[in-house]
Amino acid sequence: MTRTADDSWDLASSVGATATAVAASRATASQGPDALLDDPWAEPLVRAVGMEMFVKVVDGESLGDDDPLLNRRAMNEQMAVRTRYFDDFFTSAAAAGIRQAVILASGLDTRAYRLAWPAGTVVFEIDQPEVVEFKTRTLAGLGAEPTAERRTVAIDLRNDWAAALRDAGFDPTAPTAWSAEGLLVYLPPEAQDRLFDEITALSAPGSRIATEHMDLASIPADWAEKLTERTKRLGSEIDLAALFYTGERNSAADYLANQGWSNEIVTTAEAYAANGFELPDDELASLGGGSGYLTSTLK
């Protein structure tokens, strides 16, 4: 389904289904005696959404054994690299004394329930109302308890989410750890810039933000179409190319640097090596040699 300026979704449709796909990957990476992650809530959340393809994934059905990028081992390692990066981002921020975190487009993220947050930490989760309600209700039914003070902000990021965040008790005078995991590619270029403008306006000195870094000059022009074609061959019904906003946009690192943030980029290859993994030999594995992960700190 082609994106529109006012489209909406739940966890079984459009952009929301990609959040379920990510949770399914976290679930499989958390399975077995040699599990790469420890997310006990990912699998029951995926089962509660009920999308057949992703239930099969968490049940152990193999979908892409012959694909160097989309086989189970490669997917588990990729998800471990990504999840550990953002986990470490929040734990490092907490160790530095930051007691306010904001998870943008939180989807089925479970960090408010599974990370060891210091006492006094407030974690804000922002997403569409249906997504927030489903996750909150499902986890409560499972007996899950947040490990920090969790506050939900049920609003589309295309609306005035900053005002809604302040109304939920957000303190713009306190340093904040912001995550935009797997988000930017779903935003039009101008919306990405606007998001960073709003984050900067809400951030006290010492605040941090973590997101993916895209080496825009090196990414193949048809990368979204190629990825969609390969995932559909494995049975996916998600048209990623229709959900992504591709084309020219500002680099997150450059845009934030111009607003007073200092950047630290870890390439995908470096992130894999730091976790003891080898980056798959595939053109879509890193999306440009300089792509990877970005942490920016407001001076």
Nearest-angstrom CA–CA distance, 39 and 45 = 11
With H, G, I as helix, E, B as strand and everything else as coil, classify residue 84: helix
Q: Is residue 256 part of a domain?
A: yes
Rounded to two decimals, the pTM is 0.94
Nearest to 101 by CA among 200, 213, 209, 9: 209
Nearest-angstrom CA–CA distance, 115 and 101 = 12
With H, G, I as helix, E, B as strand and everything else as coil, classify residue 126: strand
Nearest-angstrom CA–CA distance, 47 and 56 = 10
Higher pLDDT, 236 or 102: 102
| 123 burial via Cβ count (<10 Å: 0-12, 13-18, 19+) | buried
Nearest to 134 by CA among 212, 49, 30, 201: 49
Q: Is residue 213 part of a domain?
A: yes
Nearest-angstrom CA–CA distance, 149 and 127 = 17
Give mean pLDDT, residues 255-280.
97
- Pair 29, 83: CB distance under 8 Å: yes
Q: Is residue 21 part of a domain?
A: no
Domain count, the chain: 1
Nearest-angstrom CA–CA distance, 23 and 18 = 9
For residue range 98-116, list pLDDT tens digits in order: 999 999 999 999 999 999 9
Nearest-angstrom CA–CA distance, 193 and 244 = 16
At 33 the pLDDT is 96
Q: Is the pLDDT of residue 199 over 60?
A: yes
- Pair 28, 56: CB distance under 8 Å: no
At 224 the pLDDT is 81
With H, G, I as helix, E, B as strand and everything else as coil, classify residue 63: coil
Q: Is residue 62 part of a domain?
A: no
Q: Is the pLDDT of residue 233 over 80?
A: no
At 231 the pLDDT is 81
Q: Which domain covers residue 196, as residue numbers?
A: 81-298
For residue range 13-32, list pLDDT tens digits in order: 888 899 999 999 999 999 99
Lowest mean pLDDT among 10-14, 16-20, 214-218, 289-293: 214-218
Higher pLDDT, 7 or 93: 93
Supply 144's token pair: 């899950």
CATH of the domain at 270: 3.40.50.150
With H, G, I as helix, E, B as strand and everything else as coil, classify residue 191: helix
Give mean pLDDT, residues 165-180.
98
Q: Is residue 228 part of a domain?
A: yes
> Chain-wide mean pLDDT for the chain?
93
- Pair 161, 155: CB distance under 8 Å: yes
Q: Is residue 240 part of a domain?
A: yes
Residue 8 to residues 15, 16, 52, 62, Cα–Cα distance (Å): 8, 9, 21, 31
Nearest-angstrom CA–CA distance, 101 and 178 = 6
- % of the chain with per-residue pLDDT over 70: 97
Q: Is the pLDDT of residue 1 over 60?
A: no
Give mean pLDDT, residues 46-58.
94
Nearest-angstrom CA–CA distance, 282 and 254 = 27
- % of the chain with per-residue pLDDT over 90: 75
Q: Is the pLDDT of residue 64 over 90?
A: no
Nearest-angstrom CA–CA distance, 153 and 288 = 34
What pairs with residue 151 in β-bridges? Answer: 124
- Pair 167, 139: CB distance under 8 Å: no
Supply 187's token pair: 């935003």
Q: DSSP labels for 223-277? A: HHHHHHHHHHHTT----HHHHS--S----HHHHHHTTTEEEEEEEHHHHHHHTT-
What pairs with residue 267 in β-bridges? Answer: 292
Give mean pLDDT, residues 24-44.
97
Give mean pLDDT, residues 244-273.
95
